[in-house]
Amino acid sequence: MNERIVLVNETDRSIGEMDKLEVHQKGLLHRAFSIFLFDDQGKLLLQKRAAGKYHSANLWSNTCCSHPRPEEDTLQAAVRRLKEEMGIETALEKKFDLIYRVQLDNNLMEYEYDHIYTGRSNQTPLLNREEVSDYRWVTIQELRAEIKSDPVNFTEWLKILLLKDAFNNII
């Protein structure tokens, strides 16, 4: 893996960097971003994480999420990863930040200072199969109902983000 990510304090100030897997093993606060793309009908583009992911494999999640590289601006990283994972290029707008901490599978911990971005697109995704196995478009109401009935099929961070009051302002 050997991907380095940015460690931060609770004001998103960089305090170092570390290997991504080690950060998740130790549960350290780090910089991340989450993207939510909507089509012209207001449906959200979901991705299903690939089977080979080291955590949260085969779970449905938001359009794209990842970590900026140590030298990379968060917006630039979000645009880059959206293209790499979903094959989509579109303008993104920063909506809010959120710190959350959650236990994952494989004895890993997600503790993120998460920058939330939204965008609009009607493009058909071109999936990077190492990252994403499937996609679909859903309304927020459909998604919330599915999460309520089958929460084990969704990433922990997606469930957390959908419950935040701030999320209602981005739809």
pLDDT tens-digit map of 46-56: 999 999 999 99
Cβ contacts of residue 33 below 8 Å, gap of 6+? Answer: 65, 66, 67, 68, 74, 77, 78, 81, 114, 115, 116, 117
Residue 171 has pLDDT above 70, yes or no: no
Residue 164 has pLDDT above 90, yes or no: no
List active site positions.
Answer: 65, 112
Question: What are the structural domains of the chain?
Answer: 4-169 (3.90.79.10)
Cα separations (Å) of 169 from 85, 95, 112, 163, 166?
A: 26, 9, 21, 12, 6
